[in-house]
Amino acid sequence: MLPFCFLRVAGQNRRHRRRYASARLAISSIVYLCQLLCLAKAVLVALLGEEIVWPGRHGDVGLVFMYGAICASLIGLLTQLLSATALVTAWEEGRSEEGEESQSLLGKTEDRERGQRRKSTVAVLLAFSAQDTPLLLLAFLAGAAAALGQALIPYYTGVIIDCASIDPDAKEFQWTCLKLVVVSLGCAVFTGIRGGLFTIGMTRLNVRIRTSLFDALMRQEIAFFSATRTGEITSRLSADTTTVSDQICLNLNVGLRSLTQAAMVLVFMFRASWRLSVITFIIIPAIILITKVYGAYYRQLAKAVQKELADANSVAEEALSSMTTVRAHAAENSATAAYGECLRKFYTLQLKEALAYGSYMICTTFLPNAVNVVTLYYGGNLVLDDMMSAGALVSFMLYVASLNGAFQALGDVFSAFAAALGAADKVIELIQREPKMPDAGSLQPPSFSGRLELQDVSFSYPSRPNSRVLDGISLRVNPGEVVALVGPSGGGKTSIVKLVERFYLPDSGAVLLDGRDVGLYDPRWLKRRVALVAQEPVLFARSVRRNICYGLEAEDGVPSQDVPSAADVERAARLANAHDFISAMPQGYDTDCGEKGVSLSGGQKQRIAIARALVRNPTVLLLDEATSALDSDSEAVVQEALDRMMRNHTVLVIAHRLSTVAGADRILVISAGAVAEEGTHESLAEAGGLYSALVRRQFSKTASSASLATTVHGSSYTSLPALNPLAPANAPSSQGTPL
Ligand SMILES: Nc1ncnc2c1ncn2[C@@H]1O[C@H](COP(=O)(O)OP(=O)(O)OP(=O)(O)O)[C@@H](O)[C@H]1O
């Protein structure tokens, strides 16, 4: 009764579910062990024919009572086992609820929402494998045939021993040997077929899971990538997906093989001697219970180990990918210490895992050996009493060994499954994560003038909801107009561009293009009309040509007539001042840029990024101070390309340089998330406000060394100081050098 009382109490109190479930599990285990001992004693006494301490112990009535008691005990055991299974599940749920609270990648509220709609991991994995049902069915049938062979081998071994020694029969002996050879061969062939088919299934599942995960990642909003470390994501994509597919298929293979093997062996065992079989059976519930409890515990450990490993990978990746910064700040020791700390946590968890595994091995090694001793003792007595042949006893012992092997394998499968499910939980959590961004629209209007408006826009980054970056800002860029955004660092200029690009949604207000919300347009269509040249160009490890055409290839779903031709690419490169250096490279436009464009200089990368924007023939250009990270020579050629670009487009440019700003049709001074001033360079410079202060401050800092106006390659490029008040006062200010 006690466990059931606990069940009721715990069911009413979710917060303490795990604690109650653990207590219930402990009590159930004790009750189960007592029952096991009683049953063992009753069965031994019944089978060995010793004196029975039982009511009505003499004659048939006593025997009926005794077997009745054994049956009742068996039923009790099964009930107990089922209850223990339910308890383990409750215990697991309690643990996962607790763990999720502290460990989730995605925050408490999201976890709760996700918990409500998430299907169970196993169901999702089954759905992933559904396509391979025929393959897996075939593999299973081959496995069943192999298991039948495995079960026949001990049987024929026993027959051969009887024919050769106990009851000599040469003809029967040779015939049985032949059958044994055929069965062994058939068993080997079917085992091979089963293994091969499962391996194919494993690879197919791996590809499917990886594709789904990558697809899900590609759909996530930008805020997700700011909040989640890249190392964690790549760990999910590489290590966890491999663990899931490999472990699940491998263990499905081993598990099904062991189950069918156990079922076949049991049939043959009962055929050989039902008395001996009952004895062997006593141990089965014990092994199942131990593996179940162990599996639940191991699963939690495996999940925690995966997390620690992902953390360690992130820390290492962060340091290794920024080695120059680490070296420049002499931060090698702190990077090593941070990595060491992650590994220390990982090691502690691995120790726990090793301890759990050790305890499990002790139990699973001892229990089968105990069964062997009991079986031999009782089987020997049966042979002595002529109730069984010696060959049958040998067969039986081989069956017991086979059954032990099957259960051992099942236990291993269980723990490995637990590890795979731990990894699968995280992978599926990501696959099922719904992006926090509403679906983009499908609008593709026949004409697009490129009028850009922000109407009373307020915005905070999701990672810092309490810090308002834009505060009711309104602005407008008319078709063909060049509008420059200037202002103090952190004022919100780049955030405006991010909203126009729809990387984030405003908290209130609207971002409009031609009077319609940016979210209403088909994103693929819009990205050809609104192009961005960012501060730091990002190139990919592919040819220069493919970098320029990035996002416009047939693989991106672009109709073949819209894919830029070689002439389009060259034209864009010429406009971006990039054609000459590209042509000078050994393989021209087919030269590989290397990882993140490592084989190109900053200026060359930026010019390829400009060509990438120009090849789209955009209506609106968003420029985020594309020259600020360049040296003076590179800056001059890039600036010339930018000037050329600006002449023919609607442009919103974030500019720190007076050269860019002065040529703009209108200047907006953005400060503290609002438009502080608006006008032309001349009007603002004379107005005596924030803009003129910025200009004056920069001029006074650079007057002694700066050449204030330089014409480069005949363009209107003017090298004037930067408008960023945070720029160092004594920075070199030779031609085009950022301050
Ligand atoms: N991904 C982000 N998550 C949270 N806060 C951010 C993020 N990006 C920028 N911010 C914050 O938003 C504010 C505005 O940043 P923004 O980059 O728009 O300014 P900016 O005017 O372009 O500055 P700068 O001229 O230095 O580039 C800053 O306080 C910045 O710390």
The predicted-structure confidence for 510-553, as pLDDT tens digits, reads as follows 999 999 999 899 888 888 889 888 877 788 888 889 889 888 88
User: Using an 8 Å Cβ cutoff, are 137 and 122 in contact?
Assistant: no
What CATH code is carried by the domain that includes residue 365? 1.20.1560.10
Please report, rounded to a whole number, the percentage of residues in the chain having pLDDT higher than 70: 73
Residue 499: pLDDT band (50, 70, 90) is: very high
Q: Which of 565, 429, 477, 450 is nearest to 120 (CA)?
A: 429
Judge if 177 and 40 occupy the same domain.
no
Strand boundaries in 80-158, DSSP class E = none
Asked which of 369, 400, 431 is the last residue of a domain, the reply is 431
Judge if 426 and 570 occupy the same domain.
no
Judge if 410 and 468 occupy the same domain.
no
- 495, 690, 723, best to mutate for ligand 1 pocket (most atoms within 8 Å of CB): 495
ipTM for the whole predicted complex goes beyond 0.90: yes
CB atoms within 10 A of CB 136: 22
Judge if 557 and 686 occupy the same domain.
yes
Q: Which residue's CA is the nearest one to ligand 1's atom 18? A: 492
Looking up tokens 């509008």 gives 483
Q: Is residue 409 part of a domain?
A: yes
Q: Is residue 58 part of a domain?
A: yes
Residue 717: predicted pLDDT: 34
Q: Is residue 154 part of a domain?
A: yes
Asked which of 87, 103, 119 is the last residue of a domain, the reply is 103
- Mean pLDDT computed over 200-219: 88
726 lines ligand 1 (CB under 6 A): no
Q: Is residue 116 part of a domain?
A: no
Residue 65: pLDDT over 60: no
User: Using an 8 Å Cβ cutoff, are 629 and 602 in contact?
Assistant: yes
Judge if 462 and 561 occupy the same domain.
yes
Distance, first Cα to last Cα, the chain:
80
Q: How far is the CA of 271 from the centre of ligand 1 (A)?
A: 78
503 lines ligand 1 (CB under 6 A): no
Q: How far is the CA of 209 from the centre of ligand 1 (A)?
A: 36
- 461, 464, 670, 739, best to mutate for ligand 1 pocket (most atoms within 8 Å of CB): 461
Q: Is residue 123 part of a domain?
A: no
Q: Is residue 397 part of a domain?
A: yes
Q: Is residue 647 part of a domain?
A: yes
206 lines ligand 1 (CB under 6 A): no
CA 417/CA 259 separation, integer angstroms: 15
Q: How far is the CA of 711 from the centre of ligand 1 (A)?
A: 33
How are beta strands 530-533 and 516-517 bridged, if at all? unpaired
Structural domain span for residue 64: 1-103
CA 683/CA 691 separation, integer angstroms: 10
Distances (CA, A) of 207 to 238, 324, 455: 11, 36, 46
CA 138/CA 190 separation, integer angstroms: 11
Q: Could you read off the pLDDT of 119-165 as tens digits, one per residue?
A: 567 788 888 888 888 988 898 889 889 888 888 888 888 888 888 87
Judge if 409 and 474 occupy the same domain.
no
Residue 6: pLDDT over 60: no
Judge if 572 and 608 occupy the same domain.
yes
Judge if 334 and 483 occupy the same domain.
no
Judge if 512 and 612 occupy the same domain.
yes
CA 308/CA 426 separation, integer angstroms: 13
Q: Which residue's CA is the nearest one to ligand 1's atom 13? A: 490
The count of structural domains within the chain is 3
- Ligand 1 atom closest to the Cα of residue 485 is 21
Q: Could you read off the pLDDT of 333-382 as tens digits, one per residue?
A: 888 998 999 899 989 988 888 888 887 778 767 776 777 777 788 888 88
CA 463/CA 221 separation, integer angstroms: 12
Q: How far is the CA of 531 from the centre of ligand 1 (A)?
A: 20
Asked which of 88, 103, 118 is the last residue of a domain, the reply is 103
- Ligand 1 atom closest to the Cα of residue 223 is 1
Judge if 388 and 497 occupy the same domain.
no
Q: Is residue 404 part of a domain?
A: yes
- Ligand 1 atom closest to the Cα of residue 464 is 4
Q: How far is the CA of 487 from the centre of ligand 1 (A)?
A: 12
What CATH code is carried by the domain that includes residue 457? 3.40.50.300
Q: What is the DSSP string of 264-298?
A: HHHHHHHHH-HHHHHHHHHHHHHHHHHHHHHHHHH
Judge if 390 and 457 occupy the same domain.
no
Q: Which residue's CA is the nearest one to ligand 1's atom 30? A: 490
- Mean pLDDT computed over 430-449: 84
Q: How far is the CA of 624 from the centre of ligand 1 (A)?
A: 13
Judge if 538 and 409 occupy the same domain.
no
Least confident of 509-513, 659-663, 690-694: 659-663
494 lines ligand 1 (CB under 6 A): yes
